[in-house]
Structure 1
Amino acid sequence: MRETLKERARASETDGVELKRRTDDAVGANSPYSFITYYQTLYGVRDLLAPLVADGAVSVPPMEAPGESTVIEIYPAGTLRRLGAVDEGYKESTDEAAARRETILGALSAATELEVDLPASVRERALEDDGGDALDSVVAAVATARAAARGFEPSTEYDPREGCIYV
């Protein structure tokens, strides 16, 4: 299937090898089947999300109304861009990258309508994790809270068949 999609992209008037969803373009994300995200998409949708949806255990807005257990797609870099924060160079073990992580944590509070009050242990972990996963998790939590505050109404363009990346 991945190769079929790539062939369609090559035959189209797009500027790449991979077609993007409208929501990908809106937040600057990679295609769900790019070499960076292909396995996350495949296994995440097939092995994790599909069984939960089939069992009625979760809802996935905007394709469905939010429910008691809601799953949304998040893109931390897109959230940081939307908030006007640094979105590159923080996933390294340099002093400059550590300073960027500190700046990002400050921006999460300053650039959002939500009160972001992190416990000291979470803040410390986000600052010390030079791989950026801890900070990305905090950013994802903020993006989720922003989406919930809007009733999961998308803030970017999307196609209802493709879903939406919440930022």
Structure 2
Amino acid sequence: MAAEVLNSSSVFRLNFCTELNICASISATSPSRKPLAPMVGRHKNRPMKNIKAIYFLTLLTFTLTACGQTKSDRTILGKSYAEQELKSALTDKSQHNVIDNKTSIIKDSLTAINIAEPILFSIYGKDNITKQRPYEIYFIDSYWVIGGTLPKEYLGGTFLIIIDSRDCKIIRITHGK
């Protein structure tokens, strides 16, 4: 009985290892008395599976590339339309506008930092600004006041940027010395 349990366990392990195409770590009895290595080999269907996988991936790649957006399949309104909209926005204040100068559109500190950093990077350099992390950030009377920090006992200045949360207008940008 113990031999039957051992043999069935070995066959299970062999079949499992054969599916994974790896060698078994235990010895198993074989009715053919052949060594284990020739029995654990490549399946006859494996090359066909590889061809099917390559065909599927190629088809998927072509399908996704063909469905990509290009400039030619988009409606472009043009610069004259943009100029007309700008002129209308500057002169006609009665038009629909999400910005009402009463409601904050920059609602959290992460958004305020994501607005401030690219501007600060372009003026003072990315390395200079990122060295001033973590930033001090305060929301005071609908304005985001963001400043850099320096390590203790470090001499130098930090940036300061103040942004109106209602219309994203930058009120002040400066950097100490």
TM over 0.5: no
TM class, shorter-length? under 0.3
More strand by percentage: 2
Larger radius of gyration: 2
Greater relative CO (CA pairs within 8 A, separation 6+): 1
TM-score (norm 1): 0.21
